[in-house]
A and B are shown apart, each in its own frame.
Chain A
Amino acid sequence: MAIEHIGLAHGSGGKEMLDLISDYDLSYRGNWKNYDNDAATLDIGEGRLLVFTTDSFIVSPIFFPGGDIGHIAMCGTINDLAVIGADPLGISLALVIEEGFPTADLTKILASIKKISRTTKTPVVTGDTKVMEKGKLDKIVINTAGVGVVKKNEVLTKQIKPGDKIILSGGLGEHAVALLSKRFDYTTTIVSDSKPIVEEIKKVKKFIKVAKDPTRGGISASLHEIRQRYNVGMLLDEESIPVKPGVRKVTELLGINVYELACEGRFVCIAAKNLAHTVERILKKYNEAASIIGEITQGDTIIVQSVLGKRLLPIPTGRIVPRIC
């Protein structure tokens, strides 16, 4: 359907965005593969693939419990490389800053970027800085692009099949609730889950087939993407999906769906049934909430099994807005 204006929903990572980008097919892909995934890959010979990804970051507020915009700008791109199975080689950093932005804040943001760069051994190798007139931009926008390499046989785009298990690396909704706590000015012990997942993925890489980090659109969007790509169904066990009580309370109070909230340091992965417990055990060393949350089935829907019966997990649409009723 032709739309006259771009709406905010087109940037929420749900159905509207998918419709929009499928309307504008850029068609020329050269030898790149996996361009509908988190990162695209290019065969560079010797059994290796170059992996390339980019992401732009806008977040309000820019500082929040457990992180800041610089932190997620680094983690987001590094994690997109990681979920393909790649080791990050280098990253680019482009800053677009509003005139009048406090240099003290910029210093803090750059310190976070430096810290993540060191801990993940991902050098920031090129960059750009632009300043826009006051009022033309909301504080700061960051774009990062990353390249990595992965051995062909370690690319996490392996075929999955009914019976395979779905594993989540930690609790849901913590990043979103940390942001909301700043916006609503309430006290919570929940901090953002924003962190690089490179180490965790490395440890489980040989046991898993597919991985995805549930950022925009949350675990709902991620699982639907996997489901569509591999033409499978899924059955999730609601009781085993880890959500901290503090997160659950806030999401219930505001009437927002925890499965649609962005995480910045989590991933879901698919492993063969006989390896799933190994993966779960390894991931528990990084986050004790890591759990097997369901399995791949035949069919084309995602079903959530709760104590009251089964229901469909919908594809996120629109924007996440707290209830007023």
Chain B
Amino acid sequence: MVKNELIRTYLNEITTGAEELGKTIILMEVCGSHTNVIMKYGIREILPENIRLISGPGCPVCVSAQHDIDCIIALAKQGIPIATYGDMVRVPGSSSSLEEVRADGGNIFEVYSTTEVLELKKDNPDIVFFGVGFETTSPMTAFLLKNNVCVYSVHKLIPPAIRILAQENINIDGFLNPGHVSTIIGMKPYKKIRIPQVITGFSPEKILQAISILIELIKHHSTTVINGYPEAVREEGNIFALDMIQRHFSIIDSEWRGLGVLPSSGLEVRNDTLNAKKVYKDIISKVTSAKKTKCRCGDVLKGMIEPTGCPLYKTSCTPQNPEGACMVSAEGSCAIYYRYGK
């Protein structure tokens, strides 16, 4: 239940804090699920004018590179069974999507949880899991690797993205750090990034609390990270999950849609015999990707424009016929804006 009293308290704190600041500040919510709560409750609209919220790259489906999507589609077209999470099936590649390959008879399976992949493997021994997501889903993919399932990994790490955005988009004054990712990685990886950050949860009162704390930090020129979600996030994170990631993945430079190649920001399968990119290198080496010219998903992901600033938004790009990844995923900024009638 939404807690009215808390909400009033935080809103008051925010209003007072904003007045004392006396300048406009920009805060970025990194996580797509945060964007959803913010849009659902119209939090942008109720904030004082000088507190601006912008959405970041925290939608795993959206940041997956075009080339990786094209590669997995190429594997599927060769008849290799592919399992992945729902939204990934609809993301358009250069010329097709997994959904279209499935309609043409391809073996594409949507799963809610990786344990379903183990079941599927019984009838499809050469199944490839298209592993997507941040530190939240990578431990589950590690569990599949432990059980000898072949994986095409596009797993990515959140802290390197925050670091780059803090450096490049110099307008950002502070970050709302993702709650679920932080349950896995804890607080340590954020501490090296010198900018105000608050880890927070997914209720409107949690988001408002985090904004209120960020204003305080900015006011006092403090570049620290605060755990605003202690009921779920521990200082050290989830040691077991981190160990699973470490055992089965190595950290590599990785391409993000919109952000380019970020150093040490991706997870690659350690065991070559379970790495689909190595196992099927003959197919993958022939894949070429066409660049989409008008789609501005990249700028949306960096917080440079709002979805409404893209010429395709709501014209040729809709949730029914998405052109860019940000319109596909329920966690994508464009789909969320569309949903809540912007």
Q: Do residues B341 and A312 form an inter-chain contact, with CB atoms below 8 A?
A: yes
- Give the distance in Å from the alpha carbon of A140 to the alpha carbon of B228 in the complex: 48
B288 CB within 8 Å of chain A: no
Which single member of A7, A9, A325 contacts B60 (CB below 8 Å)?
A325
Q: Do residues A310 and B42 form an inter-chain contact, with CB atoms below 8 A?
A: yes
B99 CB within 8 Å of chain A: yes
- Give the distance in Å from the alpha carbon of A183 to the alpha carbon of B100 in the complex: 26
Q: Do residues B42 and A255 form an inter-chain contact, with CB atoms below 8 A?
A: no
Q: Do residues B45 and A309 form an inter-chain contact, with CB atoms below 8 A?
A: yes
Q: Do residues A7 and B321 form an inter-chain contact, with CB atoms below 8 A?
A: no
CB within 8 Å of A: which of B112-132? Answer: 112-113, 115-116, 132
Q: Do residues A325 and B180 form an inter-chain contact, with CB atoms below 8 A?
A: yes
B59 CB within 8 Å of chain A: yes
Interface size on B, residues (CB 8 A): 49
Which of B133-141, B215-223, B245-253, B278-286 lies on the face that meets chain A?
Answer: B133-141
Q: Do residues B330 and A321 form an inter-chain contact, with CB atoms below 8 A?
A: yes
CB within 8 Å of B: which of A156-196? Answer: 180, 183-185
- Give the distance in Å from the alpha carbon of A239 to the alpha carbon of B4 in the complex: 10
**How many Å from the CB of B98 to the closest CB on chain A?**
12
Q: Do residues B41 and A324 form an inter-chain contact, with CB atoms below 8 A?
A: no
Q: Do residues A312 and B133 form an inter-chain contact, with CB atoms below 8 A?
A: no
Beyond A308-B7, A312-B340, whether A325 also contacts B178 by CB under 8 A is yes
Which of B31-39, B68-76, B188-196, B255-263 lies on the face that meets chain A?
Answer: B31-39
Residues of chain A within 8 A (CB-CB) of B48 are none
Q: Do residues A308 and B42 form an inter-chain contact, with CB atoms below 8 A?
A: yes
Residues of chain B within 8 A (CB-CB) of A90 are none
Q: Do residues B331 and A323 form an inter-chain contact, with CB atoms below 8 A?
A: yes
A123 CB within 8 Å of chain B: no
Q: Do residues A314 and B320 form an inter-chain contact, with CB atoms below 8 A?
A: no
Residues of chain B within 8 A (CB-CB) of A231 are none
CB within 8 Å of B: which of A206-249? Answer: 238-239, 248
4 A-B pairs with the lowest CB-CB distances in the bound complex, closest first: A321-B86, A5-B103, A308-B41, A312-B341
A-B contact pairs, 22 of them (CB 8 A): A5-B100, A7-B99, A9-B320, A183-B112, A183-B113, A183-B116, A184-B113, A185-B115, A252-B203, A308-B2, A312-B340, A314-B340, A321-B86, A321-B110, A323-B331, A324-B61, A324-B136, A325-B31, A325-B33, A325-B59, A325-B178, A325-B181
